[in-house]
């Protein structure tokens, strides 16, 4: 019924709108597989082959391929939340459907970009690190915090660094355009998470200012470490408070410390 079990990436894109609409009709939580199906080998990010620089076409295509793997997981995580949280507010679910379809569009742009550079989906391994950062045990607030605020939030920082690295060099127009459009639209996705995080806190009489650090403290152990410098302007545009940004600055410093 849902596109998690479809391995073909183009079929996944073609099915996402229908899958989301079906998920919106659920009255009880649906089952989600442990891992979504893939039509290319999955491998832990640490085991991926080394990357080439952006001055090479291969390096550019590889970057889009890595981004495609992220967009695919973002798309499937959106659908997963729709399937697992049928009781979430209707407004949240409708907005999440739009975010999920937007991830599918990002994925399509990346795949077309890869092909325009003479490469194809599957030329490199992919990973499931984002998918595996969430759990069937999550509360809705956990899920929003992990996916839309932590993972997509750090994606804003990384995307902005990428845009700056791509600037001023000829021959990179294809990926520049794609990365800029994606990062611009991601601000909206993160803002969606920020707004609904606060709204759902309010509905449950939870103070978001105390909940944020407490919830992050309890979740951080299972999250992929993000060490990209924070982009405060983008973070503020996406609904983060000064205190939340300060929390992530401290978390980043912790992640940068050598592990014992």
100 and 20 in contact (C-beta within 8 Å)? Answer: yes
Q: Which stretch binds Fe ion (CB under 5 A): 15-23, 67-75, 108-116, 165-173?
A: 67-75
C-alpha Rg value of the chain to the nearest Å: 18
Q: Which is nearer to Fe ion, 52 or 226 (CB)?
A: 226
What residue number has its CB nearest to Fe ion?
A: 189
Write out the binding residues for Fe ion, residues 159-218 only, by CB under 5 A. Answer: 186, 189
Cα–Cα distance for residue pair 103/176, rounded to 1 Å:
18
The least distance separating Fe ion from the CB of residue 190, rounded to whole angstroms, comes to 7
Distance CA 254, CA 138 (A): 24
In the complex, minimum distance from the CB of residue 182 to Fe ion, in angstroms, rounded to a whole number: 5
Establish if 157 lies at the interface with Fe ion (CB under 5 A): no
Judge contact between 16 and 75, C-beta under 8 A: yes
* Per-residue exposure over 202-236, b if at least 16 CB sit within 10 Å of its own CB, e if not: eeeebebeebbeebbeebeeebeebeeebbeebbe
- Residue (110 or 137) nearer to Fe ion, CB: 110
The binding track of 80-119 with respect to Fe ion, each residue x by CB under 5 A or -, is -----------------------x--x-------------
Q: How far apart are CA 119 and CA 122, in angstroms?
A: 9
By beta-carbon proximity to Fe ion, the closer residue of 127 and 246 is: 127
Kindly list the residues in this chain that would bind Fe ion in the complex (CB under 5 A). Answer: 71, 74, 103, 106, 152, 186, 189
């Amino acid at each position: 019924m849902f596109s998690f079990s479809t391995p073909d990436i183009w079929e996944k894109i073609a099915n996402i709108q229908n899958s989301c609409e079906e998920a919106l009709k659920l009255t009880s939580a649906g089952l989600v597989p442990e891992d979504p199906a893939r039509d290319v080998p999955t491998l832990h990010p640490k085991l991926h082959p080394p990357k080439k620089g952006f001055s090479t076409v291969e390096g550019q295509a590889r970057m889009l391929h890595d981004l495609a793997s992220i967009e695919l997981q973002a798309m499937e995580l959106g659908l997963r939340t729709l399937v697992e949280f049928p009781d979430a507010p209707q407004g949240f679910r409708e907005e999440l459907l739009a975010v999920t379809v937007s991830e599918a569009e990002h994925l399509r742009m990346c795949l077309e970009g890869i092909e325009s550079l003479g490469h194809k989906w599957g030329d490199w391994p992919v990973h499931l690190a984002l998918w595996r950062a969430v759990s069937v045990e999550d509360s809705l607030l956990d899920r929003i915090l992990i996916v839309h605020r932590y993972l997509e939030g750090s994606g804003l920082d990384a995307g902005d660094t990428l845009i700056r690295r791509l600037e001023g060099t000829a021959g990179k127009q294809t990926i520049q355009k794609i990365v800029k459009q994606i990062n611009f639209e991601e601000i909206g996705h993160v803002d969606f998470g920020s707004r609904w995080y606060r709204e759902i806190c309010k509905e449950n009489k939870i103070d978001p200012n105390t909940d944020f650090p407490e919830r992050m403290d309890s979740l951080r152990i299972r999250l992929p470490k993000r060490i990209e410098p924070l982009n405060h302007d983008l973070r503020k545009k996406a609904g983060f408070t000064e205190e939340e940004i300060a929390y992530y600055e401290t978390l980043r410093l912790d992640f940068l410390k050598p592990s014992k």
